[in-house]
Chains A and B, each alone.
Chain A
Amino acid sequence: MRTPDDTILRTVTKISVFIIFTFAINLFFSGHHQPGGGFIGGLTFSAALVLMYLSFDIETVRKYLPIDFKVLAAIGVFIAVSTGIAGILFGKPFLTQAFGYVELPVFGDTELASAVLFDVGVALAVIGTAVTIITSISEDR
């Protein structure tokens, strides 16, 4: 089998993956008030993972990133549902969200919202699902 020389691709990937990760996290946090959020942040994050799968091979990435993405998706949905259940525990309807302003040492006056936790769940579910779909398509012969 022909082994193509993909040094350029790999070098670019090593750098750009971190840029994409940073951008994904930025998208995720800006989602609370501006366009963005858990879904699109998670998709961007999984784009970086897919780029890694493409430029290296699946086995290598699995060796350094031993995560079962199906389980990750389940954990994501679990976190999202749990934040909904927190509402029930406080005697409010399911999925009621709360927020407040807290004085933090570095960031100053910061808005903390329980909706962010919900979004973490969404992001994990999206990453898990997207990567599972793509790896299972690539494994198909």
Chain B
Amino acid sequence: MNNLTVLPIILPLIAGLIMVIFRKRIHFQRILSIGTVAAVGGTALYLLEQIEKEGVQVLQIGDWPAPFGISLVADSFSSLLVLTTSIVSLAVLLYSFHSIGEGREKHYYYPLFMFLLTGVNGSFLTGDIFNLFVHFEVMLVSSYVLLSLGGEKLQLRESLKYILVNVVSSSLFLVGIAYLYRMVGTLNMAHLSVRVQEAGMDGLMLTVAFALLIVFALKAALFLFIWLPGSYSAAPTAIAALFAALLTKVGIYAIMRTFSLIFYGEPQITHLVIGIMAALTMLLGAFGAVAYWDIKKILVYNVIVGVGLILAGFASFTEAGMTGSIYYLIHDMIVKALIFLIGGTVVYLTGTSKIREISGLIRLHPQLGWMFFIAALSLAGIPPLSGFVGKLFITEGTFSSGYYWLGGIGLFTSLMVLYSVLKIFMNCFWGYTELTEEEEKGTTKGLLLPIGILTGLTIALGLGAEGIYSYVEMAARGMLNPDIYIHAVLGNDVLP
């Protein structure tokens, strides 16, 4: 029993509720939101320490024993993700203070932000597949409102599509869970793991596994990403950065968790399919990123490439591949938030997102330009920045498991990613300075601090990759040995 595991879920929830009650006190809401996110980050750090010393931390909610009640499970994988979530959302919150506008702030922006975090952290920490569904919904409902908040025409059109896609996939999720419950009679993920191995991965079980894969692939934008470019580029910068950093990652986490803990019996089928989907995602995403001449569109397609690469490492199902996936997942959350914030700032300054109409920003905004350059290199995986470690391990993993084509596509699309972001850098920051300071649509006052924090993090994570290696390795090993998770949740007398 460890009550700390519930704090990352209830702290944002309580903070959000208090903010709804004091709706007009914007200053109070800002302080409370920063405090809450910092507290959640601190809890995650402390949990990581505990996990290293005592193993996986479990809480049986309401004192109901494991397969009957709901379990919350914090292993190092989920705690690392909760920690990264807190850091990223801290930066996005700081950015939104100066950019989101009073109208949105008065219409429940901060409470919704907190509820979104409740859902995200809950999805990372839950050990019950139905509870995972519930937390997905908490996250999605907040994201629907955040996406349509402001009520511009483009936003409403895109959020309608977004809601439709997600409602369909959520109902498929529910159907998948119902089938699973009918076949093995449990919802606890550790117990599911035991029973699915007993029942064997026959045709019916594979069907359910693929139904869940489709659901998570829709949420993670793995191959089924048609909904993503439109909806992410319609949102305001801070919200788009938050979505790009967190929402698809929850889908990726769900794929990695279910296909390493529950449906790992037939990796030559399930993981091969994930690998093929990942390869197609990388290729199509990279084509999109290269083809567009619009900052927002290029960045959005880069999100898709990242999803493919993370799951390519997972599909290899080797320790190196898993380590790489986890490293790259953490890196991707940070660097996607960073590059969306910078891209959004450029659009905000110039009033257009077409890169052919922008030039010479580096004269007036040297910090912004160089930070974009660092982010671009990190995104492409140039050492010593944070993307390098993950890409190295992913390539090693895919090559050692014989998926040469997968690793090759990963490397090839990295080049295309580099080209696509340097295209933005060269067009927007180099060249003749067209706009004078007075002609710009806004200032970077207050916006550079969060961008600077994230840039520092991506450098630190690259140089200090050794520092978190023990946690990442523990997480990768936990995924390859589901027994660790099962014993932590069910105890030693595993129920049949």
Contact = CB atoms under 8 A, between A and B. Distances in A.
* Main SS at interface, chain B: helix
B61 A93 contact: yes
Interface string A64-96: 000000110111011001001101100011111
Contact of A93 (B1, B10, B18): B1
Contacts of B21: 71, 74-75, 78
Interface in B1-56: 1, 3, 6, 10, 13-14, 17-18, 20-21, 23
B63 A74 contact: no
Contacts of A92: 63
A93 B6 CA distance: 9
B188 interface: no
A87 B1 CA distance: 12
B63 to A, nearest CB: 5
Contacts of A85: 10
Contacts, number: 46
B10 A84 contact: yes
A97 interface: yes
A108 to B, nearest CB: 29
Contact of A94 (B6, B17, B18, B20): B6
Contacts of A88: 3, 6
Contact of B18 (A78, A96, A97): A78
Chain B interface size, under 10 / 10 to 19 / 20 to 34 / 35 or more: 10 to 19
B61 A95 contact: yes
A73 B21 CA distance: 9
Contact of A96 (B10, B20, B62): B62
B62 A93 contact: yes
A87 B61 CA distance: 10
With most chain B CB atoms within 10 A of its CB, the pick from A78, A85, A93 is A93
Given A94-B61, A96-B63, A78 B17 contact: yes
With most chain B CB atoms within 10 A of its CB, the pick from A71, A95, A96 is A95
A78 B59 contact: no
Nearest to A77: B17
A81 B62 contact: no
Interface string A112-141: 000000000000000000000000000000
Contacts of B20: 70-71, 73-74
Nearest to A95: B62
Contacts of A93: 1, 3, 59-63
Interface of A: 70-71, 73-75, 77-78, 81, 84-85, 87-88, 92-97
22 contacts: A71-B20, A71-B23, A73-B20, A74-B17, A74-B18, A74-B20, A74-B21, A75-B17, A75-B21, A77-B13, A78-B14, A78-B21, A81-B13, A84-B10, A87-B62, A87-B63, A92-B63, A93-B60, A93-B61, A93-B62, A94-B61, A96-B62
Given A81-B10, A94-B6, 10 more contacts: A71-B20, A73-B20, A74-B18, A74-B21, A77-B17, A78-B18, A85-B10, A93-B1, A93-B62, A94-B62
> Nearest 8 A-B pairs (CB), nearest first?
A74-B20, A95-B62, A94-B6, A74-B17, A78-B17, A96-B63, A88-B3, A95-B61
Interface of B: 1, 3, 6, 10, 13-14, 17-18, 20-21, 23, 59-63
